[in-house]
Amino acid sequence: MRDDMADVLEWTVTGMDCGSCAGKVRQAVERLPGVEATEVALMTERLRLRLIPGTTSPERIEATVRAIGFGITPLTTVTSGKACGCETGKAHDHRDHHSHDLVASVAPLPALPRWYATAKARYLIATGALLGAAWGAKFLLPVAWAETAFLIACLAGLYPVARRAFALLRAGVPFTIESLMTVAASGAIAIGAAEEAAVVVFLFAVGEFLESLAADRARRGIRALSALLPETALLVHGDHTHFVPAASLRPGQTVRVRPGDRLPCDGRIVAGSAGLDESAMTGESLPVLRSTGDTVIAGSICTDAALDVEVTVAASDNTIARIARMVDEAESTRAPTQRFIEAFARVYTPLIFGTALLVALVPPLAFGGGWQDWTYRALTLLLVGCPCALVIAVPTAIASALSRGTRLGLLFKGGAALEAAATVTHVAMDKTGTLTEGAFTVTAIHPAETSAEKEVLLLAASVEQASSHPLARAILAEAAQHALSPLPARDARALPGIGAEAVVDGALIQVASLRHAEASLSPSLTDEAVRHGAASLVVVLRDGLAIGLIALQDRPRTEAADAVNDLRRLGINPIMLTGDNAAAAQDIAAQLSMEFKAGLLPNDKVTAVRALGLRGGVMMVGDGINDAPALKAATVGVAMGNGTDFALEAGHAAILRNDLLGIPAMIRLARETRRNILQNVTMALALKAIFLALSVTGGASLWMAILADTGATVLVTLNALRLQVWRGRAG
């Protein structure tokens, strides 16, 4: 089925507390006719899928999800009143998104209820009260009455679990914790162990409640994103201002940001100067002074003066929206270890059912064992064998790490990228704008014999006037210093890895790298090129003939040396990959004491990354369009926060704060997550092994079995939550 023949639908799904819950929703929904590409995001509580028209109705999907015990509502989003002929800001069902002009992609997440107001809290309180009443009856009433009280407590607590188990069975998901609990508790009642069955049901409720608390704790960092944008913006309209929904802002409009206000958009300051608190987005603890001409990001707080900001990016593409999309991508991209554990659990759970059946039948039939005794052991084995702790061992750790990374400005597009970052042995970095500040200055202009300095500079500025490349900005700044206004240009285009070109005064003017245009240099220009050594050189050509050279100089970032040394302490080999000339590359590499490869076109960078990949995992770090292919080819591609949209889309991760120290921090976080996962899996398997042995030998009771399972789940969850307070210690 072609993608354009299917509708993309989204819902908010509540009640999911672990990876197992998300798996149940996914399995139940993807079995419905016409449902494709099902994605369930646990932390953002989103269900996204493609639905072939004329097959399953959205209402049936919602009914299926509700039947297995989860809440579901269609995802609403803010639409443009102009596009749909309705009031601006009115909410619409996402099913109609094909007919609307969506201007916001960050739909607010539902508010988290108080712990005592959740369904699982009420379930825990009810089962606890019934169990307490039964124990009271045990001491105060006749035995028969007490047994009846325990039976009522067990059945009342088991009813919602059994109902969900049967709903999952009808949805094609038979082997679940609910089915294990239902069989075990029902069996315990059948052999006269109603008191233990009631305790088991209560302990199950405790485990469910603790999982719910842990999941809510892990979600807080993600949910904070939706609070970073104000709901309204103060739009400057002629000589007055008025409030409009922030989601309705469009490029070209101007908004006024008062002291204490959050910026409602990405933009450029057109009037004013103020300190901006960007800590929520970049991790920078102190306000940063921004003034006219500076770019600013949505979610920053204006601290001390009013600013007029021109909107440069639509609400659906601002910094916060892009982070939200990356979080969604991260949620839907499961790590290899997680996929393995989930596949293992699909085999493991039926195996436990089969083993429990053998334990119940074989000893009595073959060796004359007591039916009640071996049935009890089989039921205990069922509860011990529950794979909850094992199933949540990986996703809980990864969700915590992704949440923590997001708060630190270290964004991974999924568990797969996070796991891969822990295995890298080489970090390849672009030079200009990544290792260096990208703040070039023109140091010299050398015209050919038939040209003049101002002519060379003017034509170069005319070609580069629409570019944001660091070299282009330096050329334009130099032209401005000489009071040269760029000439009108047409058919301007970037030449990745080469330079740029445009038609100026009827001639094709190119601003190209020395490597690309070296053959066109006259002997005198060749001599000048050799003399400049480490400087970055660009050649200005008119209709293919070199009319001059422009020399520019850059310098390493202040934190570059520390970042490179930090990588070495982690046992990682840093290397520079640049399209610049060898002399300029060697100058920067010498200052940072690192290897380098120079004169590389985009395809050459891809080749270099793949060659490094033969010796281990490779992280590629870059910020430009020419870096995008290498970012895609690397084990982990990391885009710098000030990079192009193309680089951000191509990368597997991004450093929002424009700081190279984020690279070793990313690797440390990934390695700490890998250790956490190993600890979780080890704890889960060790406890399972011990209590499985005890259950078969008769050394464990039903309540001990469920307590062991709940205990393993709690230990794994608490261990994973440690990542939420990770502070980047060396590892």
For residue 670 the two structure tokens come to 């990934």
Burial state string for 574-594 with b = 16 or more CB within 10 A and e = fewer than 16? bbbbbbbbbbbbbbbbeebeb
Indicate whether 45 belongs to any domain. yes
Global pTM reads: 0.63
Looking at 527, 553, 579, the residue that finishes a domain is 553
Indicate whether 267 belongs to any domain. no
The pLDDT value given to residue 549? 93
Indicate whether 719 belongs to any domain. no
CATH number of 84's domain: 3.30.70.100
Lowest mean pLDDT among 294-298, 318-322, 548-552, 665-669: 318-322
pLDDT digits (tens, 9 = 90+) for 19-74: 677 778 888 898 899 888 888 877 677 888 888 888 888 999 999 898 888 889 88
User: How big is the chain, counted in residues?
Assistant: 731
Local structure of residue 152 (DSSP, 8 states): H
Looking at 86, 115, 144, the residue that finishes a domain is 115
Indicate whether 479 belongs to any domain. yes
pLDDT digits (tens, 9 = 90+) for 231-261: 889 999 888 888 998 888 899 999 999 988 8
Range of the domain at 19: 3-115
For residue 419 the two structure tokens come to 């796991």
pLDDT band at 327 (very low <50, low <70, confident <90, very high): low
- What 107-114 contacts at long range (C-beta under 8 Å, 24+ apart), as own/partner pairs, is 107/75, 107/76, 107/77, 107/78, 107/226, 108/226, 109/12, 109/44, 109/45, 109/219, 109/222, 109/223, 109/226, 110/12, 110/14, 110/45, 112/216, 112/219, 112/220, 112/223
Residues 6+ apart with CB under 8 A from 616: 423, 424, 425, 426
To the nearest whole number, what is the mean pLDDT of the chain? 80
For residue 252 the two structure tokens come to 């070209």
For residue 304 the two structure tokens come to 């001390």
The pLDDT value given to residue 88? 35
Q: Counting Cβ atoms within 10 Å, is residue 26 exposed (0-12), middle (13-18) or buried (19+)? A: middle
Residue closest to 540 by CA, chosen among 654, 481, 463, 609:
463
Indicate whether 404 belongs to any domain. no
* pLDDT exceeds 90 at position 664: yes
Indicate whether 590 belongs to any domain. no
Lowest mean pLDDT among 183-187, 216-220, 534-538: 216-220
Indicate whether 22 belongs to any domain. yes
For residue 96 the two structure tokens come to 């109609």
Which residues are part of the catalytic machinery?
430
Per-residue CA distances from 617 to 589, 621, 641, 670 (Å): 22, 13, 22, 13
Looking at 532, 553, 574, the residue that finishes a domain is 553
CATH number of 510's domain: 3.40.1110.10
- How many domains does the chain contain in total? 2
pLDDT digits (tens, 9 = 90+) for 443-481: 899 999 888 999 999 999 999 988 877 788 889 999 999
The pLDDT value given to residue 325? 64
Residues 6+ apart with CB under 8 A from 25: 13, 16, 40, 47, 65, 68, 70
Asked whether the beta carbons of 410 and 653 are under 8 A apart, the reply is yes
Indicate whether 636 belongs to any domain. no
Lowest mean pLDDT among 26-35, 214-223, 287-296: 214-223
